[in-house]
Amino acid sequence: MFKSLLLLFLPAAILAAPSLELQERQLSGPKGIDVSHFQGTIDWTSVAANGISFVFIKATEGTTFLDPDFSSNYVGATNAGLTRGGYHFAHPDSSSGATQADYFLAHGGGWTADGITLPGMLDIEYNPSGDECYGLSTSAMVSWIQDFSDTYESQTGRYPIIYTTTDWWTTCTGNSPAFADDNPLFIAHYATTIGTIPAGWPFATFWQYADSGPEPGDQDVFNGDATGLEQIARGS
């Protein structure tokens, strides 16, 4: 993804403003995928052999859904030597951010400083079955995300990664820059360049650049090198 970029995970506040080069990075960092039960049985040994370094695995959705393949995917990815973490698909219209963070943490979304566990990811995006912004105002949405983020941090010592699209973020949070200092950005943009990212963040830490490809699930890339990926997992 990101052309000879050796940025390690640092708070956005201490980084310079993005350059044109950073907005036109190439797909050169460690490759990853994100998966759920929709992918069925995954041959994790083959995934690792094909050069995949990391994976985000769906754990929970709202407070009523546990991905039935989370455990098998998590164990399989671990045994294959991948850096891995869980993700939560948000339903801000059904319960508070704190309630959903607690649910996520209770069902696979935790983090430990072992060098192979990524901070949990909050998947906050288009409503699959209703109003795009779940009926929330932009200020209410920002408050909901903050509630989730603060709850996750209070229990793990790490802020969750935020996965979104620039279009959704602009529409539903008013393009809020409130999370750029603490939460790594995982941007979804299916193209050969990353495009415009939401306000505040000078760069995206992860980029989902395709919704299908040679490996199971969505195709992702990390903004950095293998050492940087390990440091995010380790929290150092």
Q: Which residues are catalytic?
A: 34, 123, 125
Please spell the DSSP secondary structure of 9-63, one letter per residue.
Answer: S--GGGSPPPPHHHHT--S-S-EEEEE-GGG-S--HHHHHHTTEEEEEEEEEETT
C-alpha 214/C-alpha 43 separation (Å) is: 13
**Residues in Cβ contact with 140 at an 8 Å cutoff, skipping those fewer than 6 apart:** none
98 neighbors 67 (Cβ within 8 angstroms)? no
201 neighbors 185 (Cβ within 8 angstroms)? yes
* The one-letter amino acid at 229: L
C-alpha 79/C-alpha 64 separation (Å) is: 28
The two structure tokens encoding residue 236: 């150092």
